[in-house]
Amino acid sequence: MSKNGKILVAMSGGVDSSVAAMLLHEQGYDVIGITMKVWDYASFGGTTKETGCCSLDSINDARYLAVQLGFPHYILDLREDFEKHVISNFISEYKNARTPNPCVLCNTHIKWEALLRKADMLDCEFIATGHYAFINQLQDRFYISKGNDEIKDQSYVLWGLTQQSLSRTMFPLNIYSKTEIKEMALNSGYDAIAKKSESYEICFIPDNDYRGFLKRRVDDFDAQFPEGNFVDKNGKILGKHKGLPFYTIGQRKGLDIAMGVPYYVVDIKKSTNEVVLGEKEALYSDSTELIGVNLHKYAEITDGMDVLVKVRYKDPGTAAKLFNKNGGIEVVFNNPVSAITPGQSAVFYEGKDIIGGGFIR
């Protein structure tokens, strides 16, 4: 493919992806804008407020930019894929008393795999997104590195991308900071887009009430997730909980239990329908196991490898060693880490480079 070939740009309607498309267009690429429709708010009347990436407003904003700059824009209906890969996992994880990490799956399967299928159809070799990160290549391996804007680093949610996906990806915002991108949007006259607030909450649950969402999606919710006991580590009953999906490891708020010192969710026991509570100290552990591992920079992990591991999105990371174990990876931290949560992702780095990641067992 020539340098200035066709490229598919995923446009959410937000500043980041808008400027990404703009930059590529300026650089002479043959840009095709795509806005993915992964969810239908109207069919799940939790709220009329549409704040997520699939709202009409967002689609319109993306289209407006495409029209202004003069490149084609399509809407891609990925609701089925989204249901299959993201929603179903979201529900089953809660059923298993785990805490799902939908953004990671959405990136891997929707924003990349499904989008690349569309790219094939449109004869595009590359796709681009508005992430603040670098794609690098080391011999035959492709890997993501953190962007220059560390506070805006999104690499944590990108660990699941396959080599195939990575080899066809471009991140036009890699060298920029969020502030610079906003300025570019303003300077180009896209004030409305530049001033949009950051997205937050789970995109398919705009009212942020994910228990309400589960209630609507799970048959006989009350029977599946009955009330039960809060207990301490010795099994002493401390109070009543409202059903396992209301809790996640490390949670403090909403326990409605006054112990004189802060109490946190330390464990969630599906077998006995108990939520174990304890003090902050009880949250620390010094190792964890990962499943569904995907590797970026190296084709395999050598036992004892030194890395930095992030265990949640906003986590500065903890030095650790990796070991192959039972087809997954065991992470042994140099210092204890708080609230390691089953279902969340652990991503390991070497400097700014992603070595790989996996789901916490």
Partner RNA sequence: UGUCCCAUGGUGUAACGGUAGCACACGGGUUUUUGGAGCCCAUAGCCAAGGUUCGAAUCCUUGUGGGACAA
Residues acting as catalytic residues: 106, 203
Q: Does 284 bind RNA (CB under 7 A)?
A: no
Q: Does 357 bind RNA (CB under 7 A)?
A: no
DSSP H helices in the chain: 15-26, 56-69, 79-82, 88-95, 102-105, 115-121, 163-167, 178-187, 191-194, 210-217, 221-224
Q: Helix, strand or coil for residue 170?
A: strand
Pairing of strands 305-310, 264-269: unpaired
> Cα separation of 215 and 91, whole Å?
10
User: How many CB atoms neighbour CB 56 within 10 A?
Assistant: 11
Minimum distance from residue 187 beta carbon to RNA (Å): 22
CB proximity list for 159: less than 8 A, separation 6 or greater: 104, 144, 294, 296, 345, 347, 354, 356, 357, 358
Binding mask 212-231 toward RNA (x if CB under 7 A, else -) reads --------------------
Minimum distance from residue 178 beta carbon to RNA (Å): 8
Minimum distance from residue 144 beta carbon to RNA (Å): 11
CB proximity list for 338: less than 8 A, separation 6 or greater: 250, 280, 283, 284
Give the one residue of 192, 259, 291, 299 binding RNA; rule: CB under 7 A: 259
Stretch that binds RNA, among 78-86, 188-196, 230-238, 337-345 (CB under 7 A): 337-345
Minimum distance from residue 303 beta carbon to RNA (Å): 27
Q: Token pair for residue 201?
A: 């909450």
Q: Does 159 bind RNA (CB under 7 A)?
A: no
Q: Does 200 bind RNA (CB under 7 A)?
A: yes
Q: Does 309 bind RNA (CB under 7 A)?
A: no
List interacting residues with RNA (CB under 7 A).
Answer: 53, 99-103, 107, 111, 129, 131, 152, 154, 156-158, 198-203, 208, 210, 248-264, 312-314, 338-339, 341, 344-345
